[in-house]
Amino acid sequence: MKISASVVPELVVNLVLPWLVYRLSLPHFGSVGALYAAALPPLVWSVAEFAKSRQLDAMSILVLLGIALSIALMALGGSPRILLVRESLVSGVIGIAFLLSLLRKKPLVFYLARATVARERGGGAGRFEALWSERPRLRASLRLMTIVWGMGLTAETLLRCWLAWHWPIERCLVVLPIISYSIYVGLMLWTVWFRQRLHAREGRATG
């Protein structure tokens, strides 16, 4: 499966760098300070993208929302079991946002996809808007992606919450991150595969 070269920097800035900055900052600034530091890469990327294209980067906004919710939940404190599912509560909120966006004319994945296409080619955003209006199959595909991500993130939250309340804390510390990352990787691999399939289908339609 081939990932477009323009997507790689977006994934690195919004997924890899926040994690790396958080891990490096944690021993020096504590959890809250490390979260603030982790917000810098997607924030700088989002500002740069807006300056260049006058459009907000949807993935960066989602990452920043997740970090902001993490800080808010951390400030509330709580029991060890609450802390075990804190990060999943953030992904659950995002998952619900995906599902609720299905009530709108354009779901959340539409804006993520349009931002990606806009970076890949000049005039890509306008072309993508036109394709959305012209092709019912494209609209159905993006709605399917929204459903998959919304259900996947929400299910991950529900599963972690149930396990955190029924398993010993020691077991949760080891197993819960593995479960979460497995679900995230599965969603990303499915998205890459589905995106390539969608590109091929649209290519045949225009060929």
pTM recorded for the entire structure: 0.67
CB 22 within 8 A of CB 35: yes
What ranges make up the beta strands (E) of the chain? none
> How far separated are the first and last CA of the chain, in Å rounded?
21
Place of tokens 């740069």: 48
Q: What are phi and psi of 36, to 5 degrees?
A: -60, -45
d(CA 71, CA 108): 23
d(CA 145, CA 177): 24
Quick one: pLDDT at residue 1?
A: 37
Taking only the tens place, the pLDDT of each residue in 158-185 is: 998 899 888 887 787 678 878 888 898 8
Taking only the tens place, the pLDDT of each residue in 71-130 is: 676 666 656 676 667 667 778 888 898 999 999 999 988 888 887 777 666 677 788 888
Amino acid at 140: A
How many CB atoms neighbour CB 6 within 10 A? 14
Closest by CA to 131, choosing from 140, 123, 139, 143, is: 139
CB 21 within 8 A of CB 52: no
Q: Where are the domains of the chain?
A: 1-77, 79-207
Quick one: pLDDT at residue 66?
A: 65
